[in-house]
């Protein structure tokens, strides 16, 4: 799974990427206009994995992980440059939009002054415009085929969805606001639109502003009002989070207490963006490893087994399942869970649920 970080230049994309990944890419007050897209792996915090690890004391603990990608910014009105950005991030499963909300005279703003809601609207408009251009190009080529009488080259279902998309985009609506059937989604998947992707908006606020909870709350509410569909907004100070990410857990605690913050905003950001992907985790737990496995909701048990190894899927016999909650109610003891009968034997079609602890029985 992959999340692309987007935004205008100097909004703090690389700063937040560094905070997320613990990497140290250079940041600067000069806008980057070229270079490679950079990728980093981020573990998804999960208290359930922490507790299971505490119980099993495994040699290895593995959290669910998501790749984040950092690239150059969007440029207002520059469709050619923006198409280049689009090409680098189109295979992402979701977007993380960084919006500048910090004042700093030493960091130039591409539009002259700081105005977060204006920037958010503008960036949404750039996403919509990019997608509209793709739709139009595709429709043109379809019309061309029809004119030449090559009807066999035209997929009517695709054309119908494209017309639906065009209508929305022309009304300046991002595609994530529309409802699509699975068939419709399939017909347009190859175009890899950006405005259809789930999105989390992060206001990069100044350190001093974090204390002004009212202003921050207002900003988030305004953004939530603007964003429809699978999207969410929150605020953090990229600069602080980047500094925090470099400290030990003890130092982090002291630093946060100083600032009057309970939890690093980064943890929340990672959880919120994972939530947008509509994924769930099941767990395997033992002395060698406690591990979270990422699957789509309602994946059948045999397919979930295939995540671990194709042999387990092929030789699937049964899944021994206990929910995390039931397991903890049994004091975190497998023996107790078996005795109390909360351990279930499930067949290959059992839809796996978030938090299931599973032991697969298979034969090869
Ligand atoms: N004061 C302040 N400066 C920040 C903050 N976040 C980022 N900066 C500074 O803003 C400048 C740009 O930050 P980057 O993270 O490089 O921004 P970017 O969005 O990656 O920029 P481009 O890659 O050029 O599009 C750097 O000088 C950062 O140190 C912040 O929260 N407060
Ligand atoms: Mg950058």
Instruction: Select 298-362's CATH number: 3.40.190.10, 3.30.300.30, 3.10.20.30, 3.30.70.260.
Output: 3.10.20.30
Q: What is the pLDDT of residue 151?
A: 79
Within 8 A by CB and 6+ apart from 333, the residues are none
Nearest CA to ligand 1 atom 25: 9
**Does ligand 1 lie within 6 Å of residue 317's CB atom?**
no
**Shortest-distance ligand to the CA of residue 10:** 1
Distance CA 355, CA 324 (A): 5
Ligand 2 ion: nearby residues, β-carbon < 5 Å: 13-14, 32
**Does ligand 1 lie within 6 Å of residue 107's CB atom?**
yes
**Does ligand 1 lie within 6 Å of residue 109's CB atom?**
no
Nearest CA to ligand 1 atom 22: 9
Task: Give the fold, CATH level 3, of 2-276.
Answer: Rossmann fold (3.40.50)
**Does ligand 1 lie within 6 Å of residue 229's CB atom?**
no
Query: Which atom of ligand 1 is least distant from the CA of 17?
Result: 15
Nearest CA to ligand 1 atom 11: 29
**Shortest-distance ligand to the CA of residue 28:** 1
**Does ligand 1 lie within 6 Å of residue 204's CB atom?**
yes
**Shortest-distance ligand to the CA of residue 107:** 1
Query: Which atom of ligand 1 is least distant from the CA of 237?
Result: 31
Structure tokens at 191: 């175009």
Q: What is the pLDDT of residue 132?
A: 97
Q: What is the pLDDT of residue 153?
A: 77
Best mutation site among 20, 26, 27 for ligand 1, i.e. most ligand atoms within 8 A of its Cβ? 27
> Which pLDDT tens digits describe the chain residue by residue (364 residues)?
999 999 999 999 999 999 999 888 888 888 777 778 999 999 999 999 999 999 999 999 999 999 999 999 999 989 899 999 999 999 999 999 999 999 999 999 999 899 999 999 999 999 999 999 999 999 999 999 888 888 777 788 999 999 999 999 999 999 999 999 999 999 999 999 999 999 999 999 998 888 888 999 999 999 999 999 999 999 999 998 988 888 888 888 888 888 777 777 888 899 999 989 989 999 999 999 999 999 988 899 999 999 999 999 999 999 999 999 999 999 988 888 888 888 899 999 999 999 999 999 999 8
Distance CA 182, CA 200 (A): 23
Instruction: Give me the residue spans of the domains in the chain.
Output: 2-276, 298-362
Q: What is the pLDDT of residue 263?
A: 75
Best mutation site among 10, 78, 244 for ligand 1, i.e. most ligand atoms within 8 A of its Cβ? 10
Distance CA 65, CA 49 (A): 13
Cα dihedral 306, 309, 313, 316 in deg (nearest 10):
-130
**Does ligand 1 lie within 6 Å of residue 104's CB atom?**
yes
């Amino acid at each position: 799974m992959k999340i692309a970080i987007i935004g205008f230049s100097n909004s703090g994309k690389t700063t937040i990427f560094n905070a997320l990944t613990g990497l140290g890419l250079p940041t600067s007050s000069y806008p980057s206009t070229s270079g490679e897209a950079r990728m980093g792996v981020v573990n998804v915090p999960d208290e359930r994995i922490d507790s299971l690890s505490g119980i099993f004391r495994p040699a290895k603990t593995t959290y669910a992980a998501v790749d984040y990608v950092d690239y150059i910014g969007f440029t207002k009105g520059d469709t050619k440059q923006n198409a280049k950005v689009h090409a680098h991030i189109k295979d992402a499963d979701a977007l993380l939009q960084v919006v500048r909300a910090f004042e700093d005279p030493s960091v130039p703003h591409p539009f002259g002054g700081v105005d977060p809601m204006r920037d958010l609207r503008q960036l949404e408009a750039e996403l919509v415009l990019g997608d509209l251009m793709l739709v139009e190009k595709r429709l043109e080529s379809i019309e061309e085929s029809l004119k030449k009488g090559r009807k066999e080259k035209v997929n009517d279902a695709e054309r119908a969805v494209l017309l639906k998309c065009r209508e929305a985009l022309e009304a300046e609506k991002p595609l994530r606001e529309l409802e699509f059937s699975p068939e419709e989604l399939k017909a347009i998947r190859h175009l890899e639109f950006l405005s259809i992707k789930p999105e989390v908006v992060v206001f990069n606020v100044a350190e001093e502003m974090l204390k002004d909870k009212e202003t921050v709350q207002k900003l988030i509410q305004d953004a939530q009002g603007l964003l429809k569909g699978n999207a969410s907004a929150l605020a953090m100070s990229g600069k602080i989070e980047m500094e925090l990410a470099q400290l030990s857990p003890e130092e982090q605690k002291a630093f946060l207490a100083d600032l009057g913050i309970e939890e690093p905003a980064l943890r929340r950001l990672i959880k919120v963006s994972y939530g947008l992907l509509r994924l769930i985790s099941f767990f395997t737990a033992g002395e060698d490893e406690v591990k979270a496995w990422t699957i789509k909701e309602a994946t059948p048990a045999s397919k979930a087994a295939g995540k671990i190894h194709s042999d387990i899927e092929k030789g699937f016999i049964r899944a021994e399942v206990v929910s995390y909650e039931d397991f903890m109610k049994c004091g975190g003891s497998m023996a107790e869970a078996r005795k109390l009968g909360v351990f279930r034997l499930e067949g290959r079609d059992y839809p796996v649920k978030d938090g299931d602890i599973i032991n697969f029985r298979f034969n090869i």
